[in-house]
Amino acid sequence: MILNSLLLNNFRLYKDAKIDFSPSINYLIGGNGQGKTSLLEAIYFMCTTKNFKAASDTELLRFTSDFYSVEGFFSNITDDNVKIYYSNADNKRIYSLNNKSVTRTSDIIGRFPIVLLTPQDHAITQGTPADRRKFFDSVISQAGSRYLMNLMEYAKILKNRSALLGTISFSQRTDLMEELDAWNEKLVLVGSEIIIARKNFVREFMPFFSDAFKSVTGRNDAAGISYTYLGNGISDEIADSRIQDKFHELLKIRRNEELKREVNLVGPHRDEFIFTLNSSPLRIFGSQGEHKTFQVALRFGQYFFLKDKLNRTPVILLDDVFGELEAKKASAISEHLNELGQTFVTMTDFSNVSLLDKSKDNLFINIQNGTATYA
């Protein structure tokens, strides 16, 4: 998939801009607050219908404007154009695909695969277990819609179940225990599907991740991902057919504790993914640099996985990633980018531009106060 050009109207700093892109690497160069990241934001927005900075529409609206629009022209399996139009008066976004308005955003999601690397990725390896689950959930969801639907249903079950735990412990009504049993069954049915999907994903993802890790480091270190669920350790896997039984068992063991604390204590919402480097846990022993490499490798692993799964080449967005890497690694990555699909890289004008690959296909775009000029 290639984004050929982008039209922006009243989006962030951009009043009225049309920018053509290279099918290879596009370096977006400019000072802070000039609108580099806004371009990545617009591209990500079109491909996923979501804003990665979780900005509200009024934040996206250029000062004193009453509408914004973002439109992109893609070469995909066919030539596609995607447009997002927002008017302040209606306070509504209209998505359209090939000039026809789209009511279900799932018609767009998955059709334009995209991989984003941002400084916020540090949370994947250094943040909480919830940050890691969020990363894996988003990748698995991109590759198939059933998983996302299960996640949404699971969230609904958790809410109902914790409300019930609260009612039982507040009222001390024993007649509600049978109701809890019913919710347990529902929790186990949907929760087990999520666990099995995650197990399968980690297995499928591993080769893509290993390759990406080797490319980024150029070394033969063993980088691992372990998925722990239902309270088991790294090495003892539970067979798919045993998961439901094990789930029920744990619910029985922890019932009193759940009632006391009025919290759902068992299930995939408490899973953890553990990253290891040469068998030692990254979270404890990893250096800053090792964490960073891991994050980059996870994202490139995502790229290769999606490319294989969806049979479309994802677009890659790198937001201010080179600034944090050592020069050697940055130039190694820069070399790799040439072999991948279309890439957008933001850089501040004082970053080391000399380490960039200056081959003919790559485009250098200067961004200044919401206008783009070609260098």
Partner 1 sequence: MDSRVFNQGEKLNIAEPLQRAIEEFSKFPGIGRKTAQRLSLFLLKTNEDSFNNFINSMVDLKKKLTFCSRCYNISEDELCEICRSPKREKTTICVVEEASDIIAIERTNEYMGMYHVLGGVLSPLSGMTHDRLKIKELLTRLKDENIEEIILALNPDTEGDATTLYLLNLLKPLGIRVTRIARGLPIGGDLEFADEATIGRALTGRIQL
Which chain residues interact with partner 1 by CB under 8 A? 145-146, 149, 153, 156-157, 159-161, 163-164, 167, 175-176, 178-179, 181-183, 185-186
User: d(Cα 343, Cα 341) in Å, to the nearest integer?
Assistant: 6
Q: How far is the CB of 172 from partner 1 (least distance, A)?
A: 14
- Of 62 and 161, nearer to partner 1 (C-beta) is 161
Three-state secondary-structure class, residue 149: helix
Q: How far is the CB of 102 from partner 1 (least distance, A)?
A: 15
Token pair for residue 113? 């695969």
- Of 186 and 255, nearer to partner 1 (C-beta) is 186
Q: How far is the CB of 150 from partner 1 (least distance, A)?
A: 9
DSSP 61: B
- Of 146 and 252, nearer to partner 1 (C-beta) is 146
Q: How far is the CB of 185 from partner 1 (least distance, A)?
A: 5
- Of 23 and 144, nearer to partner 1 (C-beta) is 144
- Of 174 and 359, nearer to partner 1 (C-beta) is 174
- Of 90 and 326, nearer to partner 1 (C-beta) is 90
Q: How far is the CB of 186 from partner 1 (least distance, A)?
A: 5
Token pair for residue 107? 């018609």
- Of 41 and 258, nearer to partner 1 (C-beta) is 258
User: d(Cα 69, Cα 81) in Å, to the nearest integer?
Assistant: 13
- In one-letter notation, the amino acid at residue 312 is R
User: d(Cα 266, Cα 25) in Å, to the nearest integer?
Assistant: 45
Identify the residue whose tokens are 């197990």.
199
Residues 6+ apart with CB under 8 A from 39: 6, 19, 28, 344, 346, 367, 372
Q: Beta-carbon neighbour count of residue 241 at 10 Å?
A: 8
Q: How far is the CB of 180 from partner 1 (least distance, A)?
A: 9
Give the neighbor-by-neighbor strand order of the sheet with 100-102. 14-20, 2-11, 67-75, 79-87, 92-97, 100-102
Three-state secondary-structure class, residue 140: helix
User: d(Cα 134, Cα 237) in Å, to the nearest integer?
Assistant: 22
- Of 97 and 274, nearer to partner 1 (C-beta) is 97
User: d(Cα 185, Cα 171) in Å, to the nearest integer?
Assistant: 23
User: d(Cα 119, Cα 318) in Å, to the nearest integer?
Assistant: 9
Q: Beta-carbon neighbour count of residue 80 at 10 Å?
A: 16
Q: How far is the CB of 222 from partner 1 (least distance, A)?
A: 37
- Of 102 and 353, nearer to partner 1 (C-beta) is 102
Q: How far is the CB of 176 from partner 1 (least distance, A)?
A: 6
Q: How far is the CB of 170 from partner 1 (least distance, A)?
A: 12
Query: Is-contact 203 177, C-beta < 8 A?
Result: no
Token pair for residue 57? 């529409």
